[in-house]
Amino acid sequence: MKQIILLLIICFASHTGYACDKCGNYDNADFQIKRVTVRHASDLAATIWEIQVKGDAGNTTPTPVGQLHGAPVTGYVFPTSLKPTDVGFSQTEGIVALALTSHPDFDDTPLWDENTDGNYANDGVVWHPHWVVLTQDDRVEGGLSVKQFEKGDETVQLPPTNPGMPMYMDSPGFQVITNGNKISVVVPDYRMNFKTDFAYDGVAAFMQVNTEDMQKPMLGVYKVYSVASGDLSLPYRVK
């Protein structure tokens, strides 16, 4: 866990000065975190993850660009000390995070119809969760990206609810709720190996998809708008 915290602090400190052309479009009170909590409800056998912001949580969503390459992704992210195997991935180095995201240019939750219109491929803009493994990446301004692997690598294990991309990413289908200045998600205990004691932090960030430039990651973090702890040290524990 100490290595995870050190990696996060190094990434945060090293990349806060970078510029990003599109990132400023979403740098507002909706992504300024005031508080982050993860609470275990034993009567529900679930944890409730919540981020409170200065503005209206989830109110700001990305402006579509009309294609997958360059597609913007906004997210409220919970970096954790969980292991990849706790959420269905094979063991690998990196930071397990639960990311609540919105991206109108594509839909990466093929099993779920979040807007209940009967079309399972048109609701990427609706806030939804992903388990991801983050890794240090100096190729992008935010210093982190979702960990990739070679397509067809049989040593890599992903949960059956994954969206079919060569990244450590899952689309678990937990419902995301926005209410005023709060955005929250409920995760059943059995969906994370019954882990109820772990460290975490809260981050609001801008990400971007890349499908053309092989010198950049497929999904990189380009801007961190706010961090609950201020230094990405994962100081919080499940209540």
pTM beyond 0.85: the answer is yes
**18, pLDDT greater than 50:** no
Residue 118 makes CB contacts below 8 A (sequence gap 6+) with: none
Alpha-carbon gap, residue 134 to 128, rounded angstroms: 18
**27, pLDDT greater than 90:** yes
Q: Which two three-digit tokens encode residue 32?
A: 């300024």
Domain that holds residue 168: 2-237
CB of 107 closer than 8 Å to CB of 124: yes
**13, pLDDT greater than 90:** no
Percent helix, strand, coil in the chain (nearest 5)?
A: 10, 35, 55
Token pair 């991935």: residue: 89
**228, pLDDT greater than 60:** yes
Alpha-carbon gap, residue 104 to 126, rounded angstroms: 8
Adjacent-strand bridge partners of 188: 46
Q: Which two three-digit tokens encode residue 149?
A: 């692997």
CB of 141 closer than 8 Å to CB of 19: yes
- 14 pLDDT band, cuts 50/70/90, is very low
pLDDT tens track for 152-202: 999 999 999 999 999 999 999 999 999 999 999 999 999 999 999 999 999
Alpha-carbon gap, residue 179 to 19, rounded angstroms: 31
The residue type at 99: A
Beta strand 144-146 with 176-179 is unpaired
How many domains does the structure of the chain reveal?
1
Q: Which two three-digit tokens encode residue 96?
A: 């397990």
pLDDT tens track for 51-78: 999 999 999 999 999 999 999 999 999 9
